[in-house]
Chain A
Amino acid sequence: MAQAQGAQAAAPPLLQARQIGKIFGQHHALDGVDFEARAGEVHALLGENGAGKSTLIKILTGALQPDAGEVLVEGQPVHLRDPQQAQGLGIGTVYQEVNLLTNRSVAENLFLGRQPTRFGLVRKGVIERQARQILAAYGLEIDVRAELGSYSVAIQQIVAIARAVELSGKVLVLDEPTASLDRVEVDKLFDVVRALKARGLAIVFITHFLDQVFALADRVTVLRNGRLVGTKTLAGLSQTEVVRMMLGKDLSFAHAIGGGPDAETGPAVVTFDGIGRAGKVHPFTLTLHEGEVVGVAGLLGSGRTEMARLMFGVDLADSGMVRMGGRVFALRSPAQAVAAGFGFCPEDRKLDGIFADLSVRENIIIALQARLGWFRMLTTEEQVDIAGRFADALDIRAAHHDMAVKLLSGGNQQKVILARWLATDPRVLILDEPTRGIDVGAHAEIVRTINRLREDGLALLVISSELDEVVAYSNRIVVMRERQMVAELRGEQIDPATIVQAIAGQAAPDQTPEETP
């Protein structure tokens, strides 16, 4: 900190953005945003989805050009045409999805595009020797001739950082680097970042994990709806204050919606009896009741998504049975689950949920149609009627229902998927991260919908990393840790502190759960 402030007086910031504006169509993605990164500081950039973080990063790294304002490197205005040029000026970027070549050797990944050659031939020996030297500085002693893909993501991430630092050397932009790392790997990565900071690099750190911001960053800049909320020194700042900056209000779902956990539940709908799959999820037993929301809490990779996939027949369980209304059966396919009255909103909406090119109407009726079978086709009138009914019920905002669903916003797409399942008149709904990647307003709406469905008598299983949210709507909460169901909380036990303790086990009771990106 002291070091960062010392440098500030002496030299202009390594990287500076002034009054940046960017417009996509009618939408102001960024409007008058200032940002700077000084030598020897870690500067965190925060904001909800859609706040303009990624647009700003793309402008700072040359992937996009601003419509207004200017970017300065060491006080000199520059025009960044592309990432290569930005790199040449000293700005290196490491993306969340490691953008290296897993099919090539570690050494080649470090030197691609700048391999030393003799008579036009690449000098492999030189490259490998230098690669070993470079990585040694990061505490990595690995076979640099091996395929990058044979190493863990954490190592790939460090190789990516090494490459970015080698190529640029002034500013390092880390875009969600910890999204798929475990705690030990995150610590390792943080050590690397601190070492680079000590070397005088300016580090821009984008993340969703607030505790990581507090662990690593010196300053934080918060964006909201394309505007700058403020830049603050982290020392003396509380998490609540940062959250307030991000959300613009005290957002407490328990407060906003109220009442959920006390509601009475009805008779049992389905029991998953000893369902499990080796290497994915340890066998668990769980009964869902009418008018009940069962929340699932747990860290990323704790087996919560795998659990949902077993419960819907996406992956096949190798143990256990499903008991439902006197019948006992094994789930062998999603089609069977749909026929049994289940619905499933997957975690990755784009990849597993939405039929991007099909219309809103077709996206809504498709599950019902699949359940009816190919031969009994819904007439156009029936389709229009069903789509209209559920679009109204969920307040899906679309100009008309014949437009491609990909043209809708993330929140509306999520509601389309919900509508799709409601149209099948399900008895059990499994929602995996239903509020992920959705703006705050739509977020609250989805939570409200969950509560309403519960009141309508559905049995719901909701996986979420947002503790406040889980607490707000769950009658019961099951906690997953290391692919195992480790706790079932009800009544008084349902509060964030207890859940955090259960998630963390004995090892780290003060650990807050990871949020999903």
Chain B
Amino acid sequence: MNRSLRPLLATTIIFVLAYALAVSQYPGLLSTRVLGNFLTDNAFLGIAAVGMTFVILAGGIDLSVGAVIGFTTVLIAVLVMWAGLHPLAAFAVALVVAAAFGATMGAAIAYLQVPAFIVTLAGMFLARGAASVISPDSIGIKHDFYTAVSQTYLLLPGGGRITVIGGLMVAVFVLGALLAHRTRFGSAVYALGGNPTSAALMGVPVPRTTILIYTLSSTLAGLAGAVFSLYTKAGYSLSAVGVELDAIAAVVIGGTLLTGGYGFIAGTFIGVLLQGLVQTYIVFDGSLSSWWTKIVIGGLLFMFILLQRLIFSASAPSRKALWKA
């Protein structure tokens, strides 16, 4: 069996077990309402995590995701409230700006040949700084479009609601999975994460792919920012602080190897759901504090990194061992 499926399987089993345990304690958790809220509450995280999955699959990391979300919310708020743009037009502008930002980071990583974490760290400072310079204060957004969107949803049997942003996240996951598993770009991403030297020799356009990957990640972070702005109806430079860590955690818990080359978009979806479950459980419990979330996520992260080590070092002939006597 494909080794890379094993962590995904583990994640799925853990999620099902955890959900079953939670339901046995609070039967109220088993409802379409809760499931719908799962999607809505984690929409921005999920969308950003799809981008992060591509980055990590290619062996990189993007620390700027949270900052780009924050910047986008501010930019959209300013464009809508101060410049009087229609929100959809504002979204378009924000996505283009985010895409250009990601492309620049990707180009720096590809051509300056420096570690991704330091380039995206600079990106994080830049995006947060720029957002604060535009407006240090939170800007509330009042627009008919926002009201309309928040009142649009698909009613599920049992009273659950698939909101626009919840549905958007699911769509992004589906499209992301197609892109990763069924396109040449997707193959190139895995190739880069597997072995960049081989990838280059096999004709993968390494710089172009790198630039595209970070463009994709930042664009999705921009989209997550738009979703966050719809979700909170505000733009604030300090919103979504630390989301990059949640996204990385979701990707890793979802079974993607942090060193790249192995993983699935669908796994990230379960990773996001698992994080949502932890949060929902803590809310349902009432007596547990929210900081348990971080500890549980950290514990899960550790567990999965360890699990991957076991799977990939036990059965994989390491690349070096392959051609050394």
The answer, among A83, A109, A122, for a CB contact under 8 Å with B182, is A122
The answer, among A101, A120, A163, A348, for a CB contact under 8 Å with B190, is A101
Q: Chain A interface: which size bin?
A: 35 or more
CB proximity of B186 to chain A, nearest CB, Å? 8
Note all chain B residues with C-beta closer than 8 A to A122: 182-184, 186-187
Query: Within the assembled complex, what's the spacing in Å between the Cα atoms of A426 and B200?
Result: 46
Which of B79-87, B89-97, B315-323 faces chain A? B315-323
The answer, among B184, B194, B324, B325, for a CB contact under 8 Å with A102, is B194
Pairwise interchain contact B178-A121, C-beta atoms closer than 8 A: yes
Interface membership of A305, Cβ < 8 A:
yes
The answer, among B261, B317, B325, for a CB contact under 8 Å with A103, is B261
Interface membership of A96, Cβ < 8 A:
yes
Pairwise interchain contact A103-B190, C-beta atoms closer than 8 A: yes
The answer, among B202, B261, B262, B323, for a CB contact under 8 Å with A113, is B202
Interface membership of A211, Cβ < 8 A:
no
Which residue in chain A gives the minimum CB-CB distance to B260?
A103
Which residue in chain B gives the minimum CB-CB distance to A63?
B201
Number of interface residues, chain B, beta carbon within 8 A = 31
Pairwise interchain contact B190-A104, C-beta atoms closer than 8 A: yes
The answer, among A95, A104, A156, for a CB contact under 8 Å with B187, is A104
Interface membership of B143, Cβ < 8 A:
no
Note all chain B residues with C-beta closer than 8 A to A156: 322
Pairwise interchain contact A115-B184, C-beta atoms closer than 8 A: yes
Give per-residue flags for B1-38: 1 if the beta carbon is below 8 A from chain A beta carbons, else 0.
01110000000000000000000000000000000000
Query: Within the assembled complex, what's the spacing in Å between the Cα atoms of A68 and B186?
Result: 40
Pairwise interchain contact A153-B198, C-beta atoms closer than 8 A: no
Known: A101-B202, A112-B202, A146-B2. A180 touches B184 (CB 8 A): no
Query: Within the assembled complex, what's the spacing in Å between the Cα atoms of A108 and B204?
Result: 13
Pairwise interchain contact B190-A113, C-beta atoms closer than 8 A: no
CB proximity of B325 to chain A, nearest CB, Å? 4
The answer, among A96, A112, A120, A300, for a CB contact under 8 Å with B204, is A112
Pairwise interchain contact B201-A99, C-beta atoms closer than 8 A: yes
Pairwise interchain contact B2-A147, C-beta atoms closer than 8 A: yes
Please report which residues of chain B, range 97-147, place their CB below 8 angstroms from some CB of chain A when the two chains form the complex.
Answer: none
Interface membership of B191, Cβ < 8 A:
yes
Pairwise interchain contact B203-A102, C-beta atoms closer than 8 A: no
Please report which residues of chain A, range 93-107, place their CB below 8 angstroms from some CB of chain B when the two chains form the complex.
Answer: 95-104
Note all chain B residues with C-beta closer than 8 A to A150: 3
Interface membership of B195, Cβ < 8 A:
yes
Pairwise interchain contact B182-A121, C-beta atoms closer than 8 A: yes
Interface of A, secondary structure class, is loop
Interface membership of A84, Cβ < 8 A:
yes
Pairwise interchain contact B203-A112, C-beta atoms closer than 8 A: yes
Query: Within the assembled complex, what's the spacing in Å between the Cα atoms of A103 and B318?
Result: 11
CB proximity of B170 to chain A, nearest CB, Å? 19
Interface membership of B199, Cβ < 8 A:
yes
Known: A96-B323, A149-B316. A87 touches B203 (CB 8 A): yes
Pairwise interchain contact B325-A112, C-beta atoms closer than 8 A: no
Give per-residue flags for A236-255: 1 if the beta carbon is below 8 A from chain B beta carbons, else 0.
00000000000000000000
Known: A104-B194, A112-B202, A149-B317. A98 touches B183 (CB 8 A): no
Pairwise interchain contact A147-B202, C-beta atoms closer than 8 A: no
Query: Within the assembled complex, what's the spacing in Å between the Cα atoms of A104 and B194?
Result: 8
Note all chain A residues with C-beta closer than 8 A to B187: 104, 108, 112, 115, 122
B184, B204, B323, B325 pick with most chain A CB within 10 angstroms: B325
Pairwise interchain contact B204-A103, C-beta atoms closer than 8 A: no
CB proximity of B306 to chain A, nearest CB, Å? 20
Interface membership of A117, Cβ < 8 A:
yes
Note all chain A residues with C-beta closer than 8 A to B290: none
B3, B193, B203 pick with most chain A CB within 10 angstroms: B203
Known: A101-B190, A146-B2. A180 touches B324 (CB 8 A): yes
Note all chain A residues with C-beta closer than 8 A to B316: 149
Interface membership of A301, Cβ < 8 A:
yes
Pairwise interchain contact A113-B203, C-beta atoms closer than 8 A: yes
Query: Within the assembled complex, what's the spacing in Å between the Cα atoms of A301 and B325?
Result: 5
Pairwise interchain contact A100-B198, C-beta atoms closer than 8 A: yes
Interface membership of B150, Cβ < 8 A:
no
CB proximity of A46 to chain B, nearest CB, Å? 21
Interface membership of A179, Cβ < 8 A:
yes
Query: Within the assembled complex, what's the spacing in Å between the Cα atoms of A433 and B26?
Result: 67
Pairwise interchain contact A98-B190, C-beta atoms closer than 8 A: no
Pairwise interchain contact B183-A153, C-beta atoms closer than 8 A: no
Given contacts A117-B183, A147-B3, 5 further A-B contacts (CB under 8 A): A83-B203, A112-B188, A112-B204, A114-B203, A121-B178
A contact set with B: CB distance below 8 Å:
83-84, 87, 95-104, 108-109, 112-115, 117, 120-122, 124, 146-147, 149-150, 153, 156, 163, 179-180, 300-301, 305, 348
29 pairs from A and B in contact (CB 8 Å cutoff): A83-B203, A98-B323, A99-B195, A99-B197, A99-B201, A99-B202, A100-B198, A101-B194, A101-B199, A102-B319, A103-B190, A103-B261, A104-B190, A104-B191, A104-B194, A112-B187, A112-B204, A113-B202, A113-B203, A113-B204, A114-B203, A115-B187, A117-B184, A120-B183, A122-B184, A122-B186, A153-B323, A180-B322, A348-B324
Name the 5 nearest CB pairs between A and B, nearest first. A103-B194, A113-B203, A103-B261, A101-B194, A99-B198
B contact set with A: CB distance below 8 Å:
2-4, 178, 182-184, 186-188, 190-191, 193-195, 197-199, 201-204, 261-262, 316-317, 319, 322-325
